[in-house]
């Protein structure tokens, strides 16, 4: 599975490890920030909390991944990756 991703992305093993580290740290940072934001709000845990958590994660994830990608030197990869995701989301299916 990892070899297929590496070949699909056309990167070296070192860059592949940096990309996966960026995904992991960016996702963890995103979850941490979403929890901190919700803890500062008056919303108690329940359905509203879960819905807002999911919305916050969706909004924060691309930002966190881009921020984390800068010190790892993977900003060009993630800029392109997120751009492709955005294009796929915008395509209208017949």
pLDDT value at position 93?
61
Q: Provide the number of structural domains found in the chain.
A: 1
**Structural domain boundaries enclosing 64:** 10-84
Does residue 91 form part of some domain?
A: no
Does residue 5 form part of some domain?
A: no
Does residue 45 form part of some domain?
A: yes
Does residue 17 form part of some domain?
A: yes
Does residue 43 form part of some domain?
A: yes
94 or 24, greater pLDDT: 24
Does residue 48 form part of some domain?
A: yes
Q: Name the strand (E) or helix (H) holding 78.
A: helix 75-90
Does residue 1 form part of some domain?
A: no
Does residue 90 form part of some domain?
A: no
Residue 27: half-sphere exposure toward Cβ, Cα within 13 Å: 6
pLDDT per position as a tens digit, 40-90: 988 888 899 999 999 999 999 999 999 999 999 999 999 998 988 888 888
């Amino acid at each position: 599975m990892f070899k297929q991703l590496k070949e699909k992305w056309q990167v070296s093993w070192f860059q592949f490890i940096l990309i996966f580290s960026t995904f992991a740290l960016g996702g963890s940072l995103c979850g941490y920030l979403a929890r901190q934001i919700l803890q500062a709000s008056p919303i108690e845990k329940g359905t509203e909390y879960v819905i807002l958590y999911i919305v916050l994660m969706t909004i924060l994830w691309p930002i966190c991944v881009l921020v984390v990608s800068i010190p790892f030197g993977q900003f060009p990869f993630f800029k392109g990756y997120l751009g492709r995701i955005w294009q796929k989301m915008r395509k209208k299916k017949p």
